[in-house]
Amino acid sequence: MAATSFQRILVALDGSDCSFRALDFACHIAKQYPGCTLVLVHVIDQRALETARMVHLQPMVEEIVRTLHAAGESLLAEAEAVPKRHQVSATTHLEQGIIAQRLLACAKEQGCDLIVIGSHGRTGLQRVLLGSVAHAVAQLAPEMVLIVREGAAASAGA
Amino acid sequence: MFRHLLVPLDGSDVAQRALDHAIDYAHSSGGEIDLIHVIDRRIVQAAPKALPLDAQKSLLEKLEEHGSGVLEQAAGTARSRGVRAHTHLVHGIIAEEVERVSTRIGCDLIVMGTHGRRGWAPMILGSVAESVLQRCTASVLLVRPHGAPATK
């Protein structure tokens, strides 16, 4: 008899391989618990937009926002297909803000009991063992956190 | 799926919860679990004056006995669920030994509490968990203690 249970699992997605690997693991975990759903979240980095404003790209900011929103929607659509293949239900959420902060807020709003996140995203130094977003989430989340490393492989047989 | 799990045990409630999660996971993935208990020599070194050798020896023996008890009980629970379990009783500094053993056995997931026995509650992430995250190349599942702050 299982002593543990997860009902809602938040998966942080930024388009990196590591985040898709995290999604695979989340699907495998969700399948163990009947009724468990995934909350797929992509956060548009507010700081990138602030930077664009700072470097006098003001006239382009609207276009940058539009582009990032479209890219985020398309990422979430691609991601959504993964749980579907595993017959796991999922909702998608496109957010904007400081990444770790929005992820934590979303986990709370959606009543998640586990956050699954890659150790490294698309930005930042690869030589550190833990990226800054994963580090902030590990430090601040009241929920359980699964940090999926670069080399981890979720597919059966791996 | 993760196949080879490592669970550091210090006898705390949160380590027990981490063990429960690891056993459930290994049970469903067909994986195996390594259990590690680290006897921290700093316990003996914490005495204000160097302890006489026989007192040190007897204290270490008690710590070893306690550690084996924790490990055997945990391994028994895992085996009763049909999960293969191995135990490691080692001396040293917790995060260093977790890193060393995890590399040696090639585990792919470490399941551990955010605060163990030595935790200071106001810290959101205990120093051992923090150190393991910064040192180990395996994935890590962080288990919160019961009654962890629900808002932050």
The DSSP string of A48-99 is: HHHHHHHTT-HHHHHHHHHHHHHHHHHHHHHHHHHHHHTT--EEEEEEEE-H
pLDDT for B15-62, tens place per residue?
999 999 999 999 999 999 999 999 987 777 777 787 888 888 888 899
Domain range for B51 = 4-143
Q: CA of B47 to nearest chain A CA: how many angstroms apart?
A: 32
On whether residue A158 sits in a domain, the answer given is: no
Contact B134 A130 (CB under 8 A): yes
* Residue A143 tokens, joined: 């929920």
Domain range for A21 = 8-148
Distance CA B139, CA B137 (A): 7
Q: What is the CATH number of the domain that holds A46?
A: 3.40.50.620
Pairing relationship of beta strands B139-143 and A144-148 according to DSSP bridges:
antiparallel
CA B138 to chain centre: 15
Q: Which among A120, A121, A117 is positioned nearest to A103, based on CA atoms?
A: A117
On whether residue A155 sits in a domain, the answer given is: no
On whether residue A88 sits in a domain, the answer given is: yes
On whether residue A153 sits in a domain, the answer given is: no
Q: What residues in chain B have their Cβ under 8 A from chain A's Cβ atoms?
A: 1-2, 17, 20-21, 23-25, 27-29, 108, 124-125, 129-130, 133-144, 148-152
On whether residue B85 sits in a domain, the answer given is: yes
On whether residue A3 sits in a domain, the answer given is: no
Helix (H, G, I), strand (E, B) or coil at A136: helix
Helix (H, G, I), strand (E, B) or coil at B97: helix
On whether residue B150 sits in a domain, the answer given is: no
ipTM of the complex: 0.84
CB atoms within 10 A of CB A136: 18
Distance CA A145, CA B127 (A): 16
Q: What is the CATH number of the domain that holds B64?
A: 3.40.50.620
Contact A119 B139 (CB under 8 A): yes
- Structural domain tally of chain B? 1
- Structural domain tally of chain A? 1
Contact B138 A149 (CB under 8 A): yes
On whether residue A99 sits in a domain, the answer given is: yes
Pairing relationship of beta strands B4-8 and B32-39 according to DSSP bridges:
parallel
Distance CA A61, CA A101 (A): 22
Local confidence pLDDT in tens for the 158 residues of chain A: 466 889 999 999 999 999 999 999 999 999 999 999 999 999 999 888 887 777 777 778 888 889 999 999 999 999 999 999 999 999 999 999 999 999 999 999 999 999 999 998 776 666 667 888 999 999 999 999 999 998 766 654 33
Give the residue on B whose Cα is nearest the Cα of A104: B152
* Residue A93 tokens, joined: 């959420």
On whether residue B148 sits in a domain, the answer given is: no
